[in-house]
Structure 1
Amino acid sequence: MQHPVLLVGNDINNISKGQSWKDLLQEILTFCGTDCVLLDDKKPFPLLYEEIFLTAIRQSHIREKDLKAFIAGKVAAIAGNELHARIRELRPEHILTTNYEYTLEGVTPTQHSSLITERSFSIFRKYTVDQTECWHIHGDCLNPMSINLGFEHYGGQLQQMRNYVVSGTTYSSPQAPKLPLLRRLRAGANFQVHSWLDLFFTKDIHIFGLSLDFVETDLWWLLTYRARQKYQRNTIPVTNKLSYYIPAEFVKQSAFKLDMLRANDVQVVDISAKTKLAYYQEVLKRVKQA
């Protein structure tokens, strides 16, 4: 495939040496002075973040701005690895990522190429490097308050997403499209990509390195809405293909999630490999051949 479109999650960073997610959570607890908060895998992270932050407010009057700046500094230190370089070698047309740092770009950008400047949410958040448009759909390190972590932020992001797709944006900037995505797609002629959301309805997307846990309410809403447009409402043409890659060893334990992905018109591609690195090498090989 020439110039593919990718949605890439955090797991590709796990090839790099450095602190684990659990280590970072512990550092966040220490920074907030909330060691009384228990880390438990049963706690969905967006709610765990709220527990940590709200506990810190009551105990030490911490500002969320300071907390997110601390997290941004830690995440920005993540080192790139050979997978990031191989992804760039594919010369993707678009890279969508839930990651906050710039390992996929290979450089820390100095200027965004977004349609508008966003402080909190990420409908248009984009950096262009070597003709690849990199969309940070959950915020980025240069703008700590945009980093999507808590339940409240997820709710606000979803609200902005639904406005963009269904009812139209409320941004004051004249650059932001006022017509909702659905109406622009129905019009057809001279359609322009303004947001990463446009790509979910118009481009084939390869999804990997992303667990797509159900706490990702914004992405699950988008998948469901797209599938309903295709199979129930049928008011716009939805002909693109979404492919989700998963290691074969995780298929059985992830069956419930994979069933839901298939129901939402996502093709599941399982790959057997001996190591994580070998798995991602095979993913990129298949993307290139698609």
Structure 2
Amino acid sequence: MKNLVLLIGNDINNISAGLSWKDLLQDIITYCHTSGCIEIDEKKPFPLLYEEIFLTAIRQHHMKEKDLKAFIAGKTAQITPNQLHTAIRALQPEHILTTNYEFTLEGSTPTENTSLIRETTFSIFRKYTMDNIHYWHIHGDCLNPMSINLGFEHYGGQLQLMRNYVVSGTMYTNKAVPKESLIRRIKNKEIYFHSWIDLFFTKDIHIFGLSLDFVESDLWWLLTYRARQKFHHKTISVPNNIYYYIPEAYTERSKFKLDLLKANGVTVVSMPAPTKLAYYQGIIEKIGKTKPVRDTAIAL
């Protein structure tokens, strides 16, 4: 479906039997030999909990982060696809953004990286194109373990590069990367889909399977900056819409988060969820009936 853009999180993987996020966390602690040292508490933001586990492992066992992330990459690569992944591909979206590290959405492991540049650590341009769908792994992928975004330090570095790309301009040596900021390029009507970030200012985006916890500082910054441009600074036109899908039963307990999303110009869509599978099937069906919007960008 031309112009359809999806941002998909890990919850769609929970339809599949096997590794859960809690399982992965326990596996990380076990691998780092920190079982007796780390207290898992939901009050601890995960990026800081990751730092606690890793830094404890460094001090006690001289753990190397590349080994830890290679272990995590191997674990996430074991996640098996389910019927939702197939149904999502059947929509034939132009772009799929995902915070997931594995390639269940693609249906198979890509053989070619189609990013503008090759990134070893951060994920401003990380893209794989398969069957005319552009897949953007915005938090890294398991083929490149050091790109997997888990810790507080990694989030900070990602956000720094994101803000440069949007606000102040880039300093990449590769001449293919535009030096001017995204905001300036939009003002000059020079938009190219080099990065997944471009889509947040130019195309409608449907978000589902993603809890959007406040630890996702990079995404919350992007939503906030976009909203400030749209409602406050108004230096550029921001004509696109962003939709966030949530089960009806969760709307009351998530009111604080939904209020913040609405303040940032995000449209909240609550859906019935008799089962997790039926909930996501309902979203996919609803999106499939969405009329594509006119492409506001100039070039790809």
Give TM-score scaled by structure 2 length. 0.95
Deviation at residue 100 of structure 1 after TM alignment: 0.3
**Runs of 4 or more above 6 Å deviation:** none
Task: Please state how far the C-alpha of 1:3 moved relative to its aligned partner.
Answer: 4.8
Q: Which residue of 1 aligns with 2:106?
A: 105
RMSD: 0.8
Partner of 1:217: 217
Give the CA deviation at 1:237: 0.5
- Match for residue 260 of structure 1? 260
Q: 1:245 and 2:245 equivalent?
A: yes
Query: Do 2:141 and 2:148's aligned partners in 1 also have CA atoms closer than 8 Å?
Result: yes
- Which residue does the alignment assign to 2:115? 114
CA contact (8 A) 1:204 1:240 kept: yes
In 2, distance between residues paired with 1:97 and 1:257? 20
Q: Hey, what's the Cα distance between the residues in 1 that align with 2:261 and 2:92?
A: 27
Query: What letter is aligned with 1:38?
Result: E
Cα pair 2:3 2:203 within 8 Å, conserved: no
Distance between the aligned counterparts of 1:19 and 1:182, measured in 2?
Answer: 40
Match of 1:40 in 2: 41
Q: Match of 1:87, as an amino acid?
A: I
- Matched residue SS, 1:128: strand
CA distance in 2 between partners of 1:117 and 1:78 (Å): 25
- Structure 1 CA distance for aligned equivalents of residues 104 and 138 of structure 2: 15
Matched residue SS, 1:202: coil
1:29 deviation in Å? 0.8
Aligned equivalents of 1:241, 1:49: Cα separation in 2 = 33
- The structural deviation recorded for 1:197 is 0.3
Identity of aligned residues (%): 68
Summarize deviations over 1:205-258 as a string: whole Å, max 9, x none: 000000000000000000000000001000000010000000001000000000
Inter-partner Cα distance in structure 1 for 2:180 and 2:137: 23
Q: Which residue of 2 aligns with 1:88?
A: 89
Letter in 2 for 1:117: R
Q: Residues of 2 paired with 1:191 and 1:41: CA distance? A: 41
Partners of 2:6 and 2:93 within 8 A in 1: yes
- The aligned counterpart of 2:295 is none
Equivalences, count: 289
Instruction: Return 5+ residue gaps in structure 2 as ranges.
Output: 291-300
State the Cα deviation string for residues 78-114 of structure 1 (Å, max 9, x = none): 0000000000000010000000000000110111000
The CA distance in 2 between the partners of 1:158 and 1:16, in whole Å, is 31
> How far is 1:273 from its partner?
2.3
C-alpha deviation, 1:19, in angstroms: 2.2
What are the Cα deviations for residues 97-156 of structure 1, in whole angstroms up to 9, with x where unaligned?
000000000110111000001011000000000000000000000000000000000000
Indicate the residue corresponding to 1:171 in structure 2: 172
Mapped partners of 1:258, 1:288: distance in 2? 24
**Correspondence 1:60-209 to 2 at 5 A:** 60-188=61-189, 190-209=190-209
SS at match of 2:238: coil
SS at match of 2:56: helix
Structure 1 gap ranges (5+): none
Counterpart of 2:242, as a letter, is L
**Contact 1:3 1:91 survives alignment (8 Å):** no
Contact 1:2 1:288 in 2 (8 A): no
